[in-house]
Chain A
Amino acid sequence: MSRCISFLAMLLTFTMVLTACSSGLSSSGTATTHIKVWFPGNSGPESDLVLKTLVPAFEKANPDITVDVQYVDWGSLSPKLNTAFAGGIAPDVFGHGPAAAAGFVASDRVLPLDSYINTLDEATRNDFGSMLDAGLVNGHRYLLPMISDGLLFAYRTDFFQQAGLDPTRPPTNWDELQSDALKLTQRQGGKIVRAGLEFSNAGIGSEQTFSTFLYQAGGQLLNKEGTEIAWNSAAGVRALQFMVNFYNGSDAVASKDGGSTGTLPITQQPLLTGQTAMELIDSGTLAGIQQAAPNVMKNIVVMPPLGLVQPAAYGGAGTGLFINKDSKHPDAAWRFIKYMTSVQTLQQYTDVTGTVPARASFLKSDLVQKRPFMKNFLEAQAANVFKPNPNIPAWVQVRDVLTRYLEKAMAQQMTPKAALDAAAQEAGSLLAKK
């Protein structure tokens, strides 16, 4: 028995020593304010820039603040953030998409930023423009966006020429999109070896694609108040049928066997490898292609926004920064947010990530010189072409319901109308709950 006890005592001591060591490691200096920040994503170059350049520069300019930044990959962000909130150890600042804003507001976890935003000068506020409304919930603003997101169609001019199409006259409406895609498709023995057009047709991407076509057709996802589902309108059915036709049937221009393009490294992206002639694509991927294969990039051009009823596309503010309501240092947190969304910072940040900054002044910057395709995205942003996802608390769940049924429709397990109606019914109860 004594051996047992002495062993257990050893184990206990071992445990306590470890605790002491680790808590010693994580304590910081006492005179300065210390804030914790979580950024989403796992891009090496991005985290290197932030951790090794941007944060030290901020700390130098603000010697009374130390910042501890961590990157959490998107898949792990929710479990980690939610348990952190439940346990009261959530960070002072965290990045997330605007669609999450309503959920956090409903749980009273984020600080309204209105008073802080009002301290910005008017020029800055105008520079953000409508991006400032990205985190608008119940009349208050809760986030400051860093980047803007958006999908536009890009195409290979060399493939256009090969197919006898004029590379300077891309499609301008749905009919042309469809007919051009057909002409651009190359088959070999019944299999498609080059798709005419590709877009995300599974997972979250499928909702973004559907949103694009839906708004182009004059429809919308929810009604203006966010209390009713509106995607199962005639416009919605038309948009979904349009999507389905690209991948199914004898006139299909693409095949689904390849799987999701979102997980492919840049050098395997279909627009780069020539697997497709046109693609609904985001600016980050285009920036990656430009860096990885500048020669191929010379043959890639972005189309002006397409439309049936109106030019539209999925997009809007991208990742933005929130302040934790329970943060003990909201002022320091705000100073960090202001710094991260400043023009100089965004210049370096978007240079590395290839994303579009959420500030209109970049239209005149050399960003556009370096990356010509940015012009299309910035212009579309300025023209309010981009339609963001609705700002409701249950959005993640609603979106997943829609995605499930979109997938069923794309797999032709349900007709577009049946799919959208079923999705509307299931998601409708979620809206009613909150």
Chain B
Amino acid sequence: MVVETLRSARPVPRSSKRLSRMQRHIALTGMIFVAPAVIYVLIFNIFPVIYAFYLSFTNYNPLDRQGPQLQGLDNYRAILASDQFWNALRVTTLYTIEVLPPSIILAIALALLANKPLRGIGLFRAMFYLPRIVSLAAVSLIWLWLYSDHGILSYLASFFGGGVIGWLTSPALALSAVAVMRIWKSLGGNMVLFLAALQGIPQDLYEAAAIDGAGRWAKTLHVTLPGLRPMIVYVTTINIVYLFQSFSELYIMTQGGPVESTTTVNILIYNQAFQYNQLGQASATAFLLFAVIFIFAFFNIRLISARRTAS
């Protein structure tokens, strides 16, 4: 998506004589316009990241008076050799796999539903969007109650036999239970994006397909889904970036337990940084996570973009 949209940003070249003056003026204005954003992000986002990268090669403990001491690759070696890290990576990947596909598919279905020209559809759309604007922390507390033994989910489950189910206290169920909550929260936000994409698909494509004798399912398969592809790429990429950094909901609902079945890499980083004061190690773990995210995001874009047929 990034690649495609980058291409579309290139203006069509005109006659080369008129290019230089006009283009230079535009380029200068462009640089001035992005200056505030770039300067700010450079100073307050990028620079801390670079500093954190430097810290990942040190044994920095914020409490120590002497400041960071370089230690070479020791942190990286120690982390890559620790079972805890690999378990956390496994948990994080599992969590992403459990959340991402259902939330995309359900969001598309919801968008198709919410695209119908019915009276009051705007109200329904706003309702679906509600979980998006409530904070993740608040939502985690709500679901903490839902999953507790005196919560409504336990009550509903009791109708299907069995006693108290430890949704959040059983190592086999905890991660999936939180994943359900995350899917629920993401539906509205993703839905709105897909809705916009749906409304951008030209009507004539549908009409052409109808003329070719396509029924409803065929239309969906050959017009709707391909038309949604750019948005699917965008949504999956953004979601991958965020899901791999999951922290709040798991910290609040299970504190990484039971028996580390919900300890994501970001929880590990948090503990290393703020419970053990090992900021050097935490930074190293963070950059290992960054590498993983980058690879997944990159492959995600390539994978879905590459299968693009002429349309």
Contact = CB atoms under 8 A, between A and B. Distances in A.
B168 interface: yes
A82 B257 contact: no
A259 B166 contact: yes
Interface string B272-283: 011111100000
B271 interface: yes
A103 B277 contact: yes
B248 interface: no
Contacts of A203: 255, 257
B275 A78 contact: yes
Given A82-B277, A86-B63, A202 B258 contact: yes
A407 B258 contact: yes
Contact of A407 (B166, B168, B259, B274): B259
Interface in A49-82: 78-79, 82
A265 interface: no
A22 to B, nearest CB: 20
A34 interface: no
Nearest to A413: B259
Contacts of A104: 63
Interface in B157-171: 163-166, 168-171
A256 B259 contact: no
A256 B274 contact: no
Interface in B79-111: none
Contacts of B166: 256-259
A78 B270 CA distance: 11
Contacts of B275: 78, 396-397, 400
Nearest to A83: B62
B62 A85 contact: yes
Contacts of A103: 63, 277
Contacts of A83: 62
A167 B170 CA distance: 35
Interface string B47-87: 00000000000000111110000000000000000000000
Contacts of A202: 257-258
Interface of A is mostly: helix
Interface in A289-307: none
A407 B258 CA distance: 8
A108 B66 CA distance: 10
Contacts of A108: 64-65
Interface of B is mostly: loop
B281 to A, nearest CB: 10
A411 B258 contact: yes
A367 B255 CA distance: 37
Interface residues on B, range: 20 to 34
Interface centre among B163, B165, B260 (most CB of A within 10 A): B163
Interface string A251-270: 00000111100000000000
Contacts of A397: 275-276, 278
Contacts of B170: 257
Interface centre among B168, B255, B275, B278 (most CB of A within 10 A): B275
A257 B61 CA distance: 38
A384 to B, nearest CB: 30
Given A191-B163, A258-B149, A400-B275, A85 B63 contact: yes
Contacts of B165: 257
Contacts of A82: 62-63, 274, 277
Given A107-B63, A404-B260, A408-B259, A256 B169 contact: yes
Contact of B171 (A85, A191, A411): A411
Given A107-B64, A191-B163, A257 B274 contact: no
A109 interface: yes
A107 B61 contact: yes
A108 B67 CA distance: 13
Interface string A382-421: 0000000000001011001000100110010100000000
Contacts of A259: 148-149, 166, 168-169
A394 B169 CA distance: 29
Contact of B149 (A257, A408, A413): A257
Contacts of A258: 149, 164, 166, 169
Nearest to B278: A397
A107 B171 CA distance: 37
Nearest to B148: A259
Interface centre among A86, A202, A256, A258 (most CB of B within 10 A): A86
Given A104-B63, A257-B164, A259-B166, A396 B276 contact: yes
A79 B277 CA distance: 9
Nearest to A1: B32
A6 B240 CA distance: 40
Contacts of B171: 411, 413
B181 to A, nearest CB: 17
A259 B278 CA distance: 30
A108 B163 CA distance: 53
Nearest to A403: B257
Contacts of A413: 171, 259
Interface in A186-240: 191, 202-203
Interface in A156-185: none
A228 B287 CA distance: 33
Interface centre among B275, B276, B277 (most CB of A within 10 A): B277
Interface in B133-178: 148-149, 163-166, 168-171
Nearest to A429: B78
A255 to B, nearest CB: 8
A79 B278 CA distance: 12
A339 B62 CA distance: 31
A408 B61 CA distance: 30
9 contacts: A86-B62, A107-B61, A107-B63, A397-B275, A400-B271, A400-B276, A407-B258, A407-B259, A411-B259
Interface of B: 61-65, 148-149, 163-166, 168-171, 255, 257-260, 271, 273-278
Closest 5 CB pairs of A and B: A86-B62, A107-B63, A257-B166, A79-B274, A397-B276
Interface of A: 78-79, 82-83, 85-86, 103-104, 107-109, 191, 202-203, 256-259, 394, 396-397, 400, 404, 407-408, 411, 413
Given A256-B169, A400-B275, A411-B258, 15 more contacts: A82-B62, A103-B277, A107-B64, A108-B65, A202-B257, A203-B257, A257-B149, A257-B164, A259-B166, A259-B169, A397-B276, A404-B259, A407-B257, A407-B260, A413-B259
